[in-house]
Amino acid sequence: MIKPLVLLSLNLGIALGFNQQAPLRLTAEPAANIQADQSTADYPQSPVGFDDQLWGKSGDKAAMLKSIDNSLRYLETPAATRAYQNYGVQGISRDQVKRSLVRFRQLVTTNTSAAKLQAAVKKEFTFYQSVGKDNKGTVTFTGYYEPIYQASRKQTAEYKYPIYKLPADFSNWRDPQPERVMLEGTDGLQGATGPLAGNEIFWMKDRFEVILVQIQGSAELNLTDGTKTTVGFAGGSNFAYSSIGKELAKDGKVTQSQLTLPGIIGYFRNNPKELDVYIPRYKRFVFMKETFNGEAMGSINVPVTPDRSIATDKSMMPPGALALVHTKLPYASGRSIQQKW
Protein backbone atom coordinates (compact mmCIF):
# COMPACT_ATOMS: atom_id res chain seq x y z
CA MET A 1 0.00 0.00 0.00
CA ILE A 2 1.32 3.47 -0.91
CA LYS A 3 1.04 5.85 2.00
CA PRO A 4 -0.20 9.40 1.53
CA LEU A 5 2.50 12.03 1.56
CA VAL A 6 3.00 15.21 3.50
CA LEU A 7 5.62 17.71 2.39
CA LEU A 8 7.51 19.42 5.15
CA SER A 9 9.36 22.67 5.52
CA LEU A 10 11.70 23.06 8.47
CA ASN A 11 10.46 21.18 11.53
CA LEU A 12 6.77 20.49 11.32
CA GLY A 13 3.92 21.85 13.29
CA ILE A 14 0.95 23.84 12.16
CA ALA A 15 -0.88 21.95 9.45
CA LEU A 16 -1.59 23.99 6.39
CA GLY A 17 -3.46 22.62 3.44
CA PHE A 18 -1.75 24.71 0.83
CA ASN A 19 -2.28 26.03 -2.64
CA GLN A 20 0.45 27.26 -4.95
CA GLN A 21 -0.30 30.88 -4.29
CA ALA A 22 1.15 34.31 -3.77
CA PRO A 23 0.50 34.64 0.00
CA LEU A 24 3.50 33.12 1.75
CA ARG A 25 6.58 32.46 -0.28
CA LEU A 26 9.00 29.62 0.46
CA THR A 27 12.21 30.34 -1.39
CA ALA A 28 14.67 27.61 -2.26
CA GLU A 29 17.26 26.74 -4.83
CA PRO A 30 15.62 24.88 -7.74
CA ALA A 31 18.03 21.96 -7.42
CA ALA A 32 17.40 21.51 -3.72
CA ASN A 33 14.24 19.44 -4.13
CA ILE A 34 12.88 17.44 -1.21
CA GLN A 35 14.13 14.42 0.61
CA ALA A 36 12.30 11.61 2.36
CA ASP A 37 12.41 11.50 6.15
CA GLN A 38 10.50 8.47 7.37
CA SER A 39 12.06 8.17 10.81
CA THR A 40 9.40 8.09 13.54
CA ALA A 41 11.65 7.79 16.59
CA ASP A 42 11.19 11.41 17.64
CA TYR A 43 7.50 11.80 16.80
CA PRO A 44 6.24 11.71 20.43
CA GLN A 45 8.42 14.73 21.24
CA SER A 46 7.84 16.61 18.00
CA PRO A 47 5.02 19.04 17.14
CA VAL A 48 4.41 17.33 13.80
CA GLY A 49 0.84 17.87 12.69
CA PHE A 50 -0.34 19.37 15.99
CA ASP A 51 -2.78 22.13 15.08
CA ASP A 52 -4.91 23.26 18.01
CA GLN A 53 -6.11 26.24 15.97
CA LEU A 54 -8.59 23.89 14.31
CA TRP A 55 -10.37 23.33 17.63
CA GLY A 56 -9.45 26.47 19.59
CA LYS A 57 -11.52 29.53 20.35
CA SER A 58 -10.72 30.85 16.90
CA GLY A 59 -11.13 27.41 15.35
CA ASP A 60 -10.88 27.54 11.60
CA LYS A 61 -11.71 24.01 10.52
CA ALA A 62 -13.95 25.43 7.80
CA ALA A 63 -11.04 27.44 6.42
CA MET A 64 -8.85 24.35 6.38
CA LEU A 65 -11.47 22.32 4.51
CA LYS A 66 -12.02 25.18 2.08
CA SER A 67 -8.31 25.34 1.31
CA ILE A 68 -8.12 21.58 0.75
CA ASP A 69 -11.15 21.70 -1.53
CA ASN A 70 -9.52 24.49 -3.54
CA SER A 71 -6.41 22.37 -4.00
CA LEU A 72 -8.50 19.37 -5.02
CA ARG A 73 -10.33 21.50 -7.55
CA TYR A 74 -7.03 22.65 -9.01
CA LEU A 75 -5.75 19.08 -9.30
CA GLU A 76 -8.62 18.27 -11.68
CA THR A 77 -7.62 21.00 -14.13
CA PRO A 78 -5.59 20.64 -17.33
CA ALA A 79 -3.02 22.98 -15.77
CA ALA A 80 -2.41 20.48 -12.96
CA THR A 81 -2.12 17.64 -15.46
CA ARG A 82 0.58 19.57 -17.31
CA ALA A 83 2.37 20.52 -14.08
CA TYR A 84 2.71 16.88 -13.02
CA GLN A 85 3.55 15.38 -16.40
CA ASN A 86 7.22 16.22 -15.99
CA TYR A 87 7.39 16.92 -12.27
CA GLY A 88 10.99 16.92 -11.14
CA VAL A 89 10.69 14.85 -7.95
CA GLN A 90 10.65 11.16 -8.69
CA GLY A 91 7.82 9.20 -7.09
CA ILE A 92 5.45 12.13 -6.51
CA SER A 93 2.44 12.16 -8.81
CA ARG A 94 -0.76 14.15 -9.11
CA ASP A 95 -2.75 11.07 -8.06
CA GLN A 96 -0.66 10.67 -4.91
CA VAL A 97 -1.07 14.35 -4.03
CA LYS A 98 -4.83 14.07 -4.59
CA ARG A 99 -5.20 10.94 -2.43
CA SER A 100 -3.20 12.60 0.34
CA LEU A 101 -5.49 15.62 0.38
CA VAL A 102 -8.63 13.49 0.31
CA ARG A 103 -7.44 11.37 3.23
CA PHE A 104 -6.27 14.36 5.24
CA ARG A 105 -9.65 15.99 4.71
CA GLN A 106 -11.32 12.88 6.10
CA LEU A 107 -9.05 12.97 9.15
CA VAL A 108 -9.77 16.65 9.82
CA THR A 109 -13.50 15.96 9.58
CA THR A 110 -13.62 12.81 11.72
CA ASN A 111 -11.13 13.56 14.49
CA THR A 112 -12.21 15.60 17.48
CA SER A 113 -8.98 17.10 18.79
CA ALA A 114 -5.56 18.28 17.69
CA ALA A 115 -3.92 15.35 19.47
CA LYS A 116 -6.10 12.78 17.70
CA LEU A 117 -5.46 14.37 14.33
CA GLN A 118 -1.73 14.44 15.03
CA ALA A 119 -1.71 10.76 15.95
CA ALA A 120 -3.60 9.82 12.80
CA VAL A 121 -1.31 11.87 10.57
CA LYS A 122 1.81 10.31 12.12
CA LYS A 123 0.37 6.85 11.64
CA GLU A 124 -0.82 7.16 8.07
CA PHE A 125 1.43 9.65 6.28
CA THR A 126 4.96 9.49 4.97
CA PHE A 127 6.84 12.74 5.54
CA TYR A 128 9.22 14.55 3.21
CA GLN A 129 11.28 17.41 4.63
CA SER A 130 12.43 20.31 2.49
CA VAL A 131 16.19 20.69 2.40
CA GLY A 132 15.64 24.43 1.91
CA LYS A 133 17.58 26.95 -0.08
CA ASP A 134 20.89 25.98 1.51
CA ASN A 135 20.43 22.18 1.70
CA LYS A 136 20.30 22.63 5.49
CA GLY A 137 16.57 23.17 5.90
CA THR A 138 16.54 26.96 5.78
CA VAL A 139 13.19 28.13 4.41
CA THR A 140 12.21 31.77 4.04
CA PHE A 141 8.66 33.06 4.52
CA THR A 142 7.23 36.41 3.49
CA GLY A 143 3.80 37.72 4.43
CA TYR A 144 0.97 38.27 1.97
CA TYR A 145 -1.42 41.18 2.01
CA GLU A 146 -3.92 42.65 -0.41
CA PRO A 147 -2.98 46.32 -0.89
CA ILE A 148 -5.48 49.13 -1.48
CA TYR A 149 -4.57 51.67 -4.14
CA GLN A 150 -6.08 54.57 -6.04
CA ALA A 151 -6.72 53.91 -9.74
CA SER A 152 -8.70 55.06 -12.76
CA ARG A 153 -10.51 53.24 -15.55
CA LYS A 154 -9.39 56.01 -17.89
CA GLN A 155 -5.92 57.27 -18.68
CA THR A 156 -5.26 60.82 -17.52
CA ALA A 157 -2.22 63.01 -17.05
CA GLU A 158 -2.18 61.95 -13.39
CA TYR A 159 -3.19 58.31 -13.82
CA LYS A 160 -0.79 57.22 -16.54
CA TYR A 161 0.79 53.89 -15.49
CA PRO A 162 -1.25 50.96 -16.84
CA ILE A 163 -2.30 47.64 -15.36
CA TYR A 164 -2.60 45.17 -18.22
CA LYS A 165 -4.86 42.20 -18.83
CA LEU A 166 -3.52 39.02 -20.38
CA PRO A 167 -3.16 39.52 -24.15
CA ALA A 168 -5.42 37.27 -26.21
CA ASP A 169 -2.42 35.89 -28.07
CA PHE A 170 -0.29 35.30 -24.96
CA SER A 171 -0.36 31.51 -25.39
CA ASN A 172 1.40 32.05 -28.73
CA TRP A 173 4.28 34.06 -27.30
CA ARG A 174 7.39 32.11 -28.14
CA ASP A 175 10.56 31.70 -26.12
CA PRO A 176 12.51 33.68 -25.37
CA GLN A 177 9.61 35.83 -24.23
CA PRO A 178 10.20 39.60 -24.10
CA GLU A 179 11.66 41.09 -20.95
CA ARG A 180 9.78 43.79 -19.08
CA VAL A 181 11.78 46.62 -20.65
CA MET A 182 10.89 45.33 -24.12
CA LEU A 183 7.19 45.46 -23.25
CA GLU A 184 6.83 48.78 -21.46
CA GLY A 185 10.13 50.63 -21.91
CA THR A 186 12.44 51.89 -19.20
CA ASP A 187 9.89 54.47 -18.06
CA GLY A 188 6.89 52.09 -18.01
CA LEU A 189 4.96 54.22 -20.50
CA GLN A 190 5.75 52.59 -23.84
CA GLY A 191 3.32 49.67 -23.71
CA ALA A 192 0.97 51.25 -26.24
CA THR A 193 3.60 50.86 -28.95
CA GLY A 194 4.06 47.10 -28.65
CA PRO A 195 2.31 43.80 -27.86
CA LEU A 196 0.62 45.25 -24.77
CA ALA A 197 -1.34 47.84 -26.76
CA GLY A 198 -5.07 47.68 -26.13
CA ASN A 199 -4.77 45.51 -23.02
CA GLU A 200 -4.84 48.33 -20.48
CA ILE A 201 -7.60 47.84 -17.89
CA PHE A 202 -6.67 50.41 -15.22
CA TRP A 203 -4.22 53.25 -14.73
CA MET A 204 -2.40 54.23 -11.55
CA LYS A 205 -0.53 57.32 -10.39
CA ASP A 206 2.48 55.56 -8.93
CA ARG A 207 4.63 53.32 -11.10
CA PHE A 208 6.02 51.34 -8.18
CA GLU A 209 2.49 50.61 -6.96
CA VAL A 210 1.85 48.91 -10.31
CA ILE A 211 4.88 46.71 -9.65
CA LEU A 212 3.61 45.88 -6.16
CA VAL A 213 0.24 44.84 -7.63
CA GLN A 214 2.08 42.48 -9.97
CA ILE A 215 4.25 41.05 -7.20
CA GLN A 216 1.37 40.58 -4.76
CA GLY A 217 -0.94 39.15 -7.40
CA SER A 218 -4.03 41.01 -6.23
CA ALA A 219 -5.17 44.43 -5.05
CA GLU A 220 -8.23 46.44 -4.10
CA LEU A 221 -8.70 49.55 -6.19
CA ASN A 222 -10.48 52.72 -5.10
CA LEU A 223 -11.49 54.25 -8.42
CA THR A 224 -11.77 57.90 -9.31
CA ASP A 225 -15.48 57.51 -10.06
CA GLY A 226 -16.12 56.62 -6.41
CA THR A 227 -16.50 52.85 -6.92
CA LYS A 228 -14.30 50.02 -5.72
CA THR A 229 -13.15 46.85 -7.41
CA THR A 230 -10.40 44.26 -7.19
CA VAL A 231 -7.84 42.76 -9.53
CA GLY A 232 -6.17 39.37 -9.42
CA PHE A 233 -3.45 37.36 -11.12
CA ALA A 234 -4.20 36.40 -14.73
CA GLY A 235 -0.83 35.14 -15.95
CA GLY A 236 2.78 36.10 -16.36
CA SER A 237 5.84 35.80 -18.55
CA ASN A 238 8.18 32.90 -17.88
CA PHE A 239 10.95 34.81 -16.13
CA ALA A 240 11.67 33.97 -12.50
CA TYR A 241 10.83 36.42 -9.73
CA SER A 242 13.71 38.71 -8.85
CA SER A 243 13.87 41.12 -5.95
CA ILE A 244 14.14 44.83 -6.69
CA GLY A 245 15.07 45.38 -3.04
CA LYS A 246 18.02 43.01 -3.32
CA GLU A 247 19.19 44.87 -6.40
CA LEU A 248 19.10 48.13 -4.44
CA ALA A 249 21.07 46.53 -1.61
CA LYS A 250 23.60 45.02 -4.01
CA ASP A 251 24.31 48.48 -5.41
CA GLY A 252 24.57 50.01 -1.94
CA LYS A 253 21.46 52.14 -2.35
CA VAL A 254 19.85 50.84 0.84
CA THR A 255 21.20 49.14 3.94
CA GLN A 256 20.06 45.76 5.22
CA SER A 257 17.95 47.51 7.86
CA GLN A 258 16.23 49.50 5.11
CA LEU A 259 15.51 46.36 3.08
CA THR A 260 11.82 46.43 3.95
CA LEU A 261 8.82 47.42 1.87
CA PRO A 262 8.50 50.83 3.60
CA GLY A 263 12.25 51.34 3.17
CA ILE A 264 12.16 50.53 -0.54
CA ILE A 265 9.06 52.69 -1.12
CA GLY A 266 10.76 55.54 0.72
CA TYR A 267 13.90 55.21 -1.39
CA PHE A 268 11.98 55.47 -4.67
CA ARG A 269 9.89 58.40 -3.41
CA ASN A 270 13.11 60.25 -2.67
CA ASN A 271 14.79 59.05 -5.89
CA PRO A 272 12.01 58.67 -8.51
CA LYS A 273 14.46 58.58 -11.46
CA GLU A 274 15.90 55.36 -10.06
CA LEU A 275 12.65 53.58 -10.97
CA ASP A 276 13.85 53.60 -14.58
CA VAL A 277 17.02 51.81 -13.48
CA TYR A 278 15.69 49.16 -11.12
CA ILE A 279 12.21 48.21 -12.34
CA PRO A 280 13.57 46.93 -15.69
CA ARG A 281 15.77 44.52 -13.73
CA TYR A 282 12.56 42.74 -12.71
CA LYS A 283 12.24 41.02 -16.09
CA ARG A 284 9.03 39.10 -15.35
CA PHE A 285 5.78 40.77 -16.43
CA VAL A 286 2.52 39.90 -14.66
CA PHE A 287 -0.95 40.40 -16.11
CA MET A 288 -4.06 41.05 -14.06
CA LYS A 289 -7.82 40.67 -14.43
CA GLU A 290 -10.68 42.48 -12.76
CA THR A 291 -12.20 40.25 -10.08
CA PHE A 292 -15.08 42.58 -9.12
CA ASN A 293 -14.51 42.59 -5.34
CA GLY A 294 -14.04 38.83 -5.32
CA GLU A 295 -11.62 36.75 -3.30
CA ALA A 296 -7.89 37.09 -3.80
CA MET A 297 -6.71 34.45 -6.24
CA GLY A 298 -3.39 32.69 -6.41
CA SER A 299 -1.25 31.45 -9.27
CA ILE A 300 -3.12 28.13 -9.58
CA ASN A 301 -6.29 30.18 -10.08
CA VAL A 302 -8.13 29.27 -6.87
CA PRO A 303 -8.86 31.58 -3.89
CA VAL A 304 -6.24 31.96 -1.19
CA THR A 305 -7.30 31.12 2.36
CA PRO A 306 -6.00 33.14 5.35
CA ASP A 307 -3.63 31.05 7.52
CA ARG A 308 -4.16 28.03 5.25
CA SER A 309 -2.56 28.92 1.93
CA ILE A 310 1.12 29.25 1.16
CA ALA A 311 3.07 29.92 -2.00
CA THR A 312 6.06 27.77 -2.80
CA ASP A 313 8.88 27.28 -5.22
CA LYS A 314 7.31 24.86 -7.69
CA SER A 315 10.65 23.21 -8.32
CA MET A 316 10.61 22.05 -4.70
CA MET A 317 7.01 21.64 -3.63
CA PRO A 318 4.29 20.02 -5.78
CA PRO A 319 1.55 22.54 -6.63
CA GLY A 320 -1.67 22.06 -4.71
CA ALA A 321 -0.13 19.52 -2.30
CA LEU A 322 -0.53 19.24 1.46
CA ALA A 323 2.20 20.82 3.56
CA LEU A 324 3.00 21.06 7.24
CA VAL A 325 4.83 24.14 8.47
CA HIS A 326 6.41 24.79 11.85
CA THR A 327 7.02 28.51 12.18
CA LYS A 328 5.80 31.60 14.00
CA LEU A 329 3.06 33.66 12.39
CA PRO A 330 2.18 37.31 13.12
CA TYR A 331 -1.16 38.06 14.79
CA ALA A 332 -2.60 41.47 15.59
CA SER A 333 -3.00 42.25 19.28
CA GLY A 334 -4.48 45.71 19.61
CA ARG A 335 -2.03 47.98 17.86
CA SER A 336 0.88 45.58 18.19
CA ILE A 337 1.87 42.40 16.41
CA GLN A 338 2.61 39.18 18.28
CA GLN A 339 4.47 36.20 16.86
CA LYS A 340 2.79 32.91 17.72
CA TRP A 341 3.51 29.30 16.81
Euclidean distance between CA atoms 283 and 182, whole angstroms: 9
Strands (E), 156-292: 161-164, 200-204, 218-223, 228-236, 286-290
pLDDT exceeds cutoff 60 at 40:
no
Give the pLDDT band (50/70/90) at residue 279.
very high
- Compute CA distances 278 → 65, 129, 218, 241, whole Å: 41, 36, 22, 14
First-residue to last-residue Cα distance in the chain: 34
Q: What is the mean pLDDT of residues 33-56?
A: 56
Q: What pLDDT is stored for residue 39 in this prediction?
A: 37
Q: Helix (H, G, I), strand (E, B), or coil: what is residue 106?
A: helix
Q: What is the mean pLDDT of residues 70-81?
A: 95
**74-83, 131-140, 203-212: least confident range:** 131-140
Strands (E), 158-285: 161-164, 200-204, 218-223, 228-236
Percent of the chain scored above 70 by pLDDT? 84
Q: What pLDDT is stored for residue 48 in this prediction?
A: 66
Give the pLDDT band (50/70/90) at residue 6.
low
Q: What is the mean pLDDT of residues 114-130?
A: 90
Residue, of 63 and 135, whose pLDDT is higher: 63
100: nearest Cα among 134, 140, 56, 49: 49
**Chain mean pLDDT for the chain:** 83
Q: What is the mean pLDDT of residues 290-302?
A: 87
Give the pLDDT band (50/70/90) at residue 15.
very low
Q: Count H helices and E strands in the chain, helices first.
A: 9, 15
Give the pLDDT band (50/70/90) at residue 121.
very high
Q: What is the mean pLDDT of residues 116-142?
A: 85
The upper half-sphere exposure of residue 247, i.e. CA atoms within 13 Å in the direction of its Cβ, equals 14
148-290 fold? Ribosomal Protein L25; Chain P (2.40.240)
pLDDT exceeds cutoff 80 at 43:
no
pLDDT exceeds cutoff 60 at 29:
no
pLDDT exceeds cutoff 60 at 299:
yes
pLDDT exceeds cutoff 60 at 19:
no
pLDDT tens profile 249-275? 999 999 988 988 999 999 999 999 999
Give the pLDDT band (50/70/90) at residue 154.
very high
* Helix, strand, coil in percent for the chain, rounding step 5: 30, 25, 45
Percent of the chain scored above 90 by pLDDT? 56
Q: What pLDDT is stored for residue 268 in this prediction?
A: 97
Q: What pLDDT is stored for residue 3 in this prediction?
A: 53
Burial of 190-218, coded b for 16+ CB within 10 Å and e otherwise, reads ebeeeebeebbbbbbebbbbbbbbbbbbb
Q: What pLDDT is stored for residue 167 in this prediction?
A: 97
Domain ranges for the chain:
5-142+298-340, 148-290
pLDDT exceeds cutoff 90 at 12:
no
Single pTM value for the model = 0.71
Residue, of 2 and 184, whose pLDDT is higher: 184
Give the pLDDT band (50/70/90) at residue 228.
very high
Q: What is the mean pLDDT of residues 64-82?
A: 95
- Highest-pLDDT range among 28-37, 38-47, 329-338: 329-338
